[in-house]
Amino acid sequence: MIYRKFLCWVSLFFLSSCTLMTKTTPAPAQLEDLLKRNLVLLPDNRFENLPPSLKDNEIIFLGEQHNIRPLIQAASRMAVYLATYKPVVYAVESCYGLSPFMEAASLGNPKTAKPMRGIPECIQAFNSNQTVDKKILMTAIDLEHSIYHTKSDTILFLQDLASRSTSDAAMQAINKEVAQLTAQDTYGKMNRYLKKLKKVFSQHFDTFSSEDQDEILFSMELIIASNNYQYISRGIRKSWQNPYEFRYRYFKKTIERAYQKAQKRKAILLCRVGSWHISSDHKCEARYFAQDHPLTKGKVAIIRMIPLYYDIHETNDIITEEHNDIDSIVKTLMKDDEYSYLSLPKLQKNTTHSFKWSKYYSSSGPKYDGLLFVRIEKNSN
């Protein structure tokens, strides 16, 4: 009996060892074959070649390296593609106070205080032929960073909130206080000022609609948190609090508000954010909505946009060990196409190879649902 148990144990150990041994890094030729079978080319910007299941999500996160024009253009084109099937709310990582201006401009009714000329041309062209309910609504998510470096934008936002009052006297009283914002040049001064400004708003609360009251309360809370984040993260104010917890908590709240706007419009929420905010291998906003948020859990797609540089001396970020060459092989496979898409779970499926060596995977699996590769030519940025 003991001998049989010993043989069973040895057999199980041998089988598990074999399984572990088969999880090897693919040779370059094997990797190229896997990519050939799984890479989806998007010739002539045909995003309809993307997996149809993407359209079934309630939120799609696009992670980017900031300020790369072809990535911004790719995200805008994806918004237009999605909007041909279902309404879209397109939220971009920016100061939250830009929201009312971005929303008005995207719908074709720019506010004179800040016209927001940066609405992508493809979105303007799409919206010009749509009814209001089908237009792509652009909005902003993130803290109100301008409270520290560009106070004039925060002033415009607060003035816009004040303009929603039904009382001229209330607007004048609030705007008189708003005008003092630029004089607040320390954390303490700004903190005291914001508390006073919140009190002035509350004194005239009955002149605002319930929806605007909610927006005022949230916005003041967000601006106070933004002030804390800016001064603590820059080391100007000493605190035991982690400044990035401030940002994580309130970035999530701005995404929740964008999600509410999408739900009202029966729309998909498309969020373009920095790549740090989407990786599943650390605590971040996209992972929260994909795994923890009760209304969106299991209804989120997370896609990393990858710039592939052609004919210039720039390099793709964090390339490469001997076999960590997904980007270079994809560059070859794309030929003249501008975009391609790779499902990371699909690449790993039905293969004995391990992908832990890749920057796109962690020890527990893919960091993202997919990669959108974007061709970048010389002078394209």
pLDDT tens, residue order, the chain (381 aa): 554 544 444 444 444 444 443 467 788 888 999 999 999 999 888 899 999 999 999 999 999 999 999 999 999 999 999 999 999 999 999 999 999 999 999 999 988 777 777 799 999 999 999 999 999 999 999 999 888 778 889 999 999 999 999 999 999 999 999 999 999 988 889 999 999 999 999 999 999 999 999 999 999 999 999 998 888 776 666 665 777 888 899 999 999 999 999 999 999 999 999 999 998 888 899 999 999 999 999 999 999 999 999 875 545 544 444 434 899 999 999 988 999 999 999 998 878 787 888 899 988 889 999 999 999 986 666
For residue 344, the surrounding DSSP H or E stretch is helix 344-348
Tokens of 82: 């999605």
For residues 195 and 224, give the distance between their C-alpha atoms in angstroms, rounded to a whole number. Answer: 8
Average pLDDT value for the chain: 87
Looking from the CA of 341 toward its CB, the CA atoms found within 13 Å total 24
For residues 334 and 340, give the distance between their C-alpha atoms in angstroms, rounded to a whole number. Answer: 7
Give the closest residue to 104 by CA, choosing from 137, 75, 73: 137
End-to-end CA distance of the chain: 72
Spacing of C-alpha 262 from chain mean position: 15
For 259-303, the pLDDT digits (tens) are 999 999 999 999 999 999 998 888 899 999 999 999 999 999 999
What is the predicted pLDDT for the residue at 320? 43
CB contact at 8 A, 100 and 111: yes
